[in-house]
Amino acid sequence: MSSVFLNDLFWTIAERGRALLDLEPAGRSDAQEPAALAEALLASTGEASMIALALQLNNRFAALDPAGRRTFFRALVDRFGPDRARLAQAIEHYQARGDDAAALALHAAAEPRRQELIRRLNLAPGGTAALVQMRAELLAQLEQEPALAGLDQDFRHLFSSWFNRGFLVMRRIDWQTTAAVLAKIIRHEAVHAIDDWDDLRRRIEPPDRRCYAFFHPALVDEPLIFLQVALTQGLPSAIGPILAEERMPIAPHSADTAVFYSISNCQKGLRGVSFGSFLIKQVIDELRRDLPELKTFATLSPLPGLRRWLAEVQAAGELPFDADPAVLAKLEGKDWPRHEATSAALKEQLLPLAAHYLLEAKTPNGQPRDPVARFHLGNGARLERLNWLADRSPRGLAEGCGLMVNYLYAIKDIERNHEAYAKDGKIAAASPVLKLQRAAR
């Protein structure tokens, strides 16, 4: 590809932030194996040829089928690891000299060659987006192909540096946002699906609704993560009224509570590079400045793993305390939320069970089993309240027995909660939640 074409392209993309499609004269890049292109890219010395090769390789990859991609990933693992000879020499040199310079040389020699390859791929126009896409593909294949894990570590290491919190920009999402961005909000909402543009509008336009997202300068118009907020009077105990179609908005300045009712990641390829905690905290700051009347910052969150955990402990005969399987069996029915007696019986059983689940059920490495709990407790939030029949949607009933949790972000406690949790695994919880669990025991 001539440098002219390349540079024009560069400009176009930088300016318009659009995707690359069918960039190359057909048949040309096909002639070369992606892995051979990768070698050429690593061997290249000039910036212009680097950019050209990087673009070519990104496009070549995008045109591959899944099998071709897997072959390429394997080649990266097999042939683009560290240079063994150089590494052996560097070890020898370090052991002879023992100084920091030798250690640094050793550090360099031990670096897998594919890290430099990934850095160079990032030089191409649209390179960052292409690499995030490439890792999404890699993650999809990783389950069948655990040998690719090393490559994933390289991606994650570099992405952590590139998506450094200092490079992220928070923007408000509202009805003044461009359609290009809003279309992605609709697509990526992961907690309470957005049905269509009218549903979206109800969530971002009324004066008592807020939505914020992080963006990265190299991913134009691509939200990385977004948080939906409802401004309310008092802490809400159910999601229904928040999402209701017919609803009278309240004046923002009359609200005392900001409820984070949904947080969604948009980029599969950035898994493990965390921004959620930063986003929540920055949103809290923003809201406090705008609306000094707000006193409470809390979530209204699902318990996505409750039902499955319940099934497992039941199956294993490990139901805590004297929970009644006969009552729990009624969860199988579809209409129990409408039967008052059944519902009341279930409530009596499930509230303590849910408290136990959140406080005591752990993953093998000792963390809370519920992923949402893990996230918010890790951020320094407090387990504040359990809400009965708070989410009557099919998914809410199927996964969380209709229960929802409020996690409280109490500004003055966040850091202390976080430290206690990080160091000692201690979960901050309000006394009614603790009582629920204790009473049951």
- Considering the rule CB under 8 A, would residue 419 count as an interface residue with a copy of itself? yes
Is 376 an active-site residue?
yes
Q: Which stretch binds a copy of itself (CB under 8 A): 256-264, 314-322, 346-354, 411-419?
A: 411-419
Which among 112, 126, 157, 115 is positioned nearest to 51, based on CA atoms?
Answer: 126
Exactly one of 32, 237, 277, 296 binds a copy of itself (CB under 8 A); that residue is 277
- With H, G, I as helix, E, B as strand and everything else as coil, classify residue 301: strand
Q: Are 134 and 61 in contact (CB under 8 A)?
A: yes
Q: Which is nearer to a copy of itself, 52 or 331 (CB)?
A: 52
- Considering the rule CB under 8 A, would residue 341 count as an interface residue with a copy of itself? no
Site for a copy of itself in 91-110 (CB under 8 A): 91, 94-95, 100-101, 103-104, 106-107, 110
- Considering the rule CB under 8 A, would residue 30 count as an interface residue with a copy of itself? no
- With H, G, I as helix, E, B as strand and everything else as coil, classify residue 159: helix
Site for a copy of itself in 61-90 (CB under 8 A): 77, 81-82, 84, 87
Helix (H) or strand (E) holding 171: strand 169-172
Q: Which is nearer to a copy of itself, 104 or 439 (CB)?
A: 104
Chain-centroid distance of CA 318 in Å reads 32
Query: CA–CA separation, 322 vs 348, rounded Å?
Result: 12
- Considering the rule CB under 8 A, would residue 166 count as an interface residue with a copy of itself? yes
Q: How many residues bind a copy of itself (CB under 8 A)?
A: 91
Which among 424, 435, 281, 308 is positioned nearest to 370, based on CA atoms?
Answer: 308
**Count of alpha carbons within 13 Å of 303, Cβ hemisphere only?**
34
Site for a copy of itself in 115-144 (CB under 8 A): 119, 122-125, 127-128
Site for a copy of itself in 207-246 (CB under 8 A): 207, 217-218, 221
Is 107 an active-site residue?
no
From the list 188, 192, 216, 376, the catalytic residue is 376
Q: Are 217 and 167 in contact (CB under 8 A)?
A: yes
Q: Which residues on neighbouring strands pair with residue 169, listed in sequence order? A: 215
- With H, G, I as helix, E, B as strand and everything else as coil, classify residue 287: helix
Exactly one of 65, 85, 178, 326 binds a copy of itself (CB under 8 A); that residue is 178
- Considering the rule CB under 8 A, would residue 201 count as an interface residue with a copy of itself? yes
Q: Are 20 and 125 in contact (CB under 8 A)?
A: yes
Q: Are 287 and 258 in contact (CB under 8 A)?
A: yes
- Considering the rule CB under 8 A, would residue 184 count as an interface residue with a copy of itself? no
> From the CB of 125, what's the least distance to a copy of itself, in Å?
8
> From the CB of 97, what's the least distance to a copy of itself, in Å?
13
> From the CB of 395, what's the least distance to a copy of itself, in Å?
25
Query: CA–CA separation, 430 vs 366, rounded Å?
Result: 21
Helix extents (H) in 223-304: 240-243, 276-290
Exactly one of 74, 156, 184, 281 binds a copy of itself (CB under 8 A); that residue is 281
> From the CB of 217, what's the least distance to a copy of itself, in Å?
4
Look at the alpha carbons of 221, 157, 164, 369 in this order and tell me if their dihedral is positive or negative: positive
DSSP 8-class letter at 427: P
Site string for a copy of itself, 256-275 (x = CB under 8 A): --------------------
Site for a copy of itself in 240-259 (CB under 8 A): 248-249
> From the CB of 20, what's the least distance to a copy of itself, in Å?
8
- Considering the rule CB under 8 A, would residue 415 count as an interface residue with a copy of itself? yes
Instruction: Retrieve residue 387's tokens.
Output: 């809400």
Contacts of residue 8, defined as CB under 8 A and 6 or more positions apart, other chains included, come to none
Catalytically active residues, by annotation: 301, 376
